[in-house]
Structure 1
């Protein structure tokens, strides 16, 4: 329990950095310098106003200098990062596997919020995560180089097939190529079986979202966040889901 609490607090702090990535990467700015500042007035944020979640509550979601509202996305990202960090550490303990899967989790958080905001997926970040997933497999317990390569290839390949097939029959672009990058990263980290599970879950969540929000036919919806939800479910519950499914088929 103590370890999970420490992981949660670390995740809150790291979530503040992920907020910087989400804001600056689409703008092509450095994620390391300059220090954080108010997006409205540009004033530097003092350290005591940059405490994850707590500062947002104390300041009532407003900048101390200009009084303009600050997006609630900031504390949401921090809480989400803290929660998922704790979940990973509680599941994989203090091991290299925890570090390995945290790279995937943090990547999914960043690309999901960027995709929701800009309808684009940062290519360089995706390539960095992809290479990390393939090369760092050597230090994991339940992974293989072939599985990482095949998973990445299958993940990207399925999405590319859907994109090209949809274009052939409709003359329009459906899913974006950035989604193929995300699926390649997921495949590198989770392997080919969980790639298929991720895609299935992402499609289910996406369809449910479309029904609940009554999106018009043809309305653009970023698919990256749905892939991320599917990947996270696959990460934490994938083995149980797959074993249940194969058991039901008596395979």
Structure 2
């Protein structure tokens, strides 16, 4: 029965070559609309099904279906909420367009492959769009998204096993190589992050005279800003990893205007401890301020989220794809950093570049890599 279905699909492709790209494009635009819900709600801990309808982040009114048509509604409304007139970020339209385009590319580039392989690839691409958007906006990667992409990569390897290393493979061999690629990607990125912390994860500042510092809540209530003489620092970026630490030396400490014993202050993501061992939860403090002479930070040069991303990439692309992705992402990161904020003290997420490089691998980069490696062997 399944073989008959595949034959029917091949006949449809031959008779109406426009049909599958059109269907996958429309399907991708609808999926992209749902991905916008995932991108907004998941990192905030909100339910994906309650409320069932999308709502405006500003006025929180639900959006009726006729004003939530993928791709068209944002353009017709000119990027504004119909209820309150608030701006709807361009990212919403871009996610829908990118998902539709990637789905079309999947069915056209892999037109000869099993339909289930194409669907598995589309699922991986959808999760890639989610991880790119969340990491770019919040510098955060949720492992559940990476694990779903990893499962999709394993499924793709089972239905199109020869693509994992360019040779004829059985489904079981494809799964084995896919799993090996996932493990290789995860371990490699963990090793890179560890080396980066040793080389670049420590920072020291020393002032001759006491310098002021303070903590304040952002206007959106979602982050804390540490204000220092040389500029503000994002709390979420400082403590992106659980083991990160910020230490102020020869410091004074005022909590809600009252001075407490200072000395050496050790900050974690949710508390500050004095050298006497007393810890003050940040959630119990309205304001913190004081002075300091020395500052030390110990933080990872790369987040653990990048390792989860490489797990998903390895499952889809294999170990050669992992190597290609790391090299290509580094080059893309250099270009992107020079074009945006590198050298200005601003953090730059690496995950979007990793996923962009993996997408390049999926749509032709593997052929280029095989030609390059074959040319020099």
> Could you tell me whether the CA contact under 8 Å between 1:126 and 1:181 is conserved in 2?
yes
User: Is residue 2:30 matched to residue 1:8?
Assistant: no
Q: Residue in 1 aligned with 2:182?
A: 152
Unaligned runs of 5+ in 2: 1-17, 165-173, 203-298
Q: Which residue of 2 aligns with 1:133?
A: 153
Is the 8 Å Cα contact of residues 56 and 75 (structure 1) preserved in structure 2? yes
For the structure 1 residues 131 and 7, does the alpha-carbon distance in structure 2 shift closer, same or farther, using more than 3 Å as the test? closer
Match of 1:168 among 175, 198, 207: 198
- Structure 2: distance between partners of 1:211 and 1:149: 35
Contact 1:104 1:186 in 2 (8 A): no
CA displacement 1:10-64 (0-9 Å, x = unmatched): 1111110010110010011122231111111111101110001211111111111
Task: Say how many residue pairs are matched.
Answer: 250
- Where do 1:56-205 residues align within 5 Å? 56-93=74-111, 95-134=115-154, 137-142=157-162, 143=164, 144-170=174-200, 171=202, 172-205=299-332
The CA deviation at 1:218 is: 4.9
Deviation at 1:146, TM superposition (A): 2.0
CA-based RMSD: 1.6
- Tell me if structure 1 keeps the 8 A contact 2:146–2:309: yes
Between the aligned partners of 2:82 and 2:313, the Cα distance in structure 1 is 40
Query: Which deviates further from its counterpart, 125-134 or 82-91?
Result: 125-134
What is the Cα deviation at residue 210 of structure 1? 1.3
Larger Rg: 2
Is residue 30 of structure 2 the alignment partner of residue 30 of structure 1? Answer: no
Structure 1 residues 55 and 234: alpha-carbon distance in aligned structure 2, compared to 1, 3 A threshold: same
1:51-110, CA deviations, whole angstroms, 9 ceiling, x for partnerless residues? 012111111111111111111111111000110010001112361211111121111100
TM-score normalised per structure 1: 0.94
Q: Which residue of structure 2 aligns with residue 229 of structure 1? A: 356
| Structure 1 residues 173 and 146: CA distance shift in structure 2, 3 A | same
Q: Within 1, Cα distance between the matches of 2:133 and 2:126?
A: 11
Measure, in 2, the Cα distance between the counterparts of 1:247 and 1:165.
31
Moved over 6 A (4+): none
TM-score norm. by structure 2 comes to: 0.63
Query: Residue 185 of structure 2: SS of its match in structure 1?
Result: helix
